[in-house]
Amino acid sequence: MKRLIIILFFTCTSSILWSQTLTKAVVDSAKFLIVKATVNFLVTDSKTFGGNKSICRSCMSYESLKEFAIDKKLSKVPEYINNWKSIKIDTTQESAGKSLSEFKNRVHDTITSGAKEFRKKLNSYPDYKITIDSIVEYFNTFYTSSNTNTQSSTTQTVETKISIVPAMSWWQKKPAFQYVLYGTTFLLAIGLIFFIRQAKRENKSKKSYKDANNEKSQLLERNTAEIDALKKSNTSLQEKIVLLEEELKAERKKLSIQNQVSVKQQEQPAKQETRKKISNIKYARYADQGDGFTASDFLAESDSETIFEITITSPNTAYYKIAPNANAQKYALSDAAYFLGKTCKYESAPFGQSNIHTDQPGELKLQGNKWAIISPAIISFR
* 39/57 Cα distance (integer angstroms): 11
Read off φ and ψ for residue 245, nearest 5 degrees.
Answer: -65, -40
Starting at the edge strand found earlier in the chain, the sheet holding 356-360 runs 344-345, 377-381, 356-360
* 54/77 Cα distance (integer angstroms): 15
Average pLDDT over residues 255-265: 74
Residues 140 and 288 in one domain: no
Which pLDDT does position 123 carry in this prediction?
93
Residue 15 or residue 238, greater confidence: 238
Among 139, 173, 207, give the residue marking a domain's end: 173
Tens digits of per-residue pLDDT, 210-242?
Answer: 888 888 888 888 888 889 888 888 888 888 899
Q: Is residue 226 part of a domain?
A: no
* 182/162 Cα distance (integer angstroms): 10
Q: Which domain holds residue 139?
A: 2-148+158-173
Residue 182 has pLDDT above 60, yes or no: no
* 94/82 Cα distance (integer angstroms): 27
Q: Is residue 180 part of a domain?
A: no
Helix (H) or strand (E) holding 366: strand 362-367
Which pLDDT does position 321 carry in this prediction?
96
Tens digits of per-residue pLDDT, 294-351?
Answer: 999 899 999 999 999 999 999 999 999 999 999 999 999 888 888 998 899 998 888 7
Residue 194 has pLDDT above 60, yes or no: yes
Is the CB of residue 163 less than 8 Å from the CB of residue 143?
A: yes
- Which residues are within 8 A (CB) of 154 and not within 5 positions of it... i.e. 6 or more apart? none
* 303/319 Cα distance (integer angstroms): 19
Q: Is residue 194 part of a domain?
A: no
Provide the Cα torsion 256, 258, 261, 267; round to 10°: -60
DSSP line for 12-37: HHHHTTT-TTHHHHHHHHHHHHHHHH
How many Cβ atoms from other residues are within 10 Å of residue 7's Cβ?
Answer: 13
3-state secondary structure of 137: helix
Q: Is residue 224 part of a domain?
A: no
Residues 164 and 309 in one domain: no
Q: Is residue 257 part of a domain?
A: no
Phi-psi region of 156 (alpha: psi -120 to 50; beta: other; left: phi over 0): beta
Number of domains in the chain: 2
Residues 15 and 163 in one domain: yes
Average pLDDT over residues 279-291: 88
Amino acid code (one letter) for 270: A
Q: Is residue 215 part of a domain?
A: no
Half-sphere CA count of 251, side-chain side, radius 13 A:
6
Select from 19, 14, 40 the least CA-distant residue to 138.
14
Which pLDDT does position 272 carry in this prediction?
52
* 51/229 Cα distance (integer angstroms): 39
pLDDT tier at 270, thresholds 50, 70, 90: low
Amino acid code (one letter) for 89: I
Residues 167 and 314 in one domain: no
* Distance, C-alpha 31 to centroid of its chain: 25
Q: Is residue 202 part of a domain?
A: no
Report the greatest alpha carbon distance in the chain: 125
* 97/359 Cα distance (integer angstroms): 65
Q: Is residue 268 part of a domain?
A: no
Select from 188, 219, 164, 210 the least CA-distant residue to 28.
164
* 266/318 Cα distance (integer angstroms): 29
How many Cβ atoms from other residues are within 10 Å of residue 80's Cβ?
Answer: 20
- Which residues are within 8 A (CB) of 343 and not within 5 positions of it... i.e. 6 or more apart? 287, 308, 320, 362, 373, 376, 377
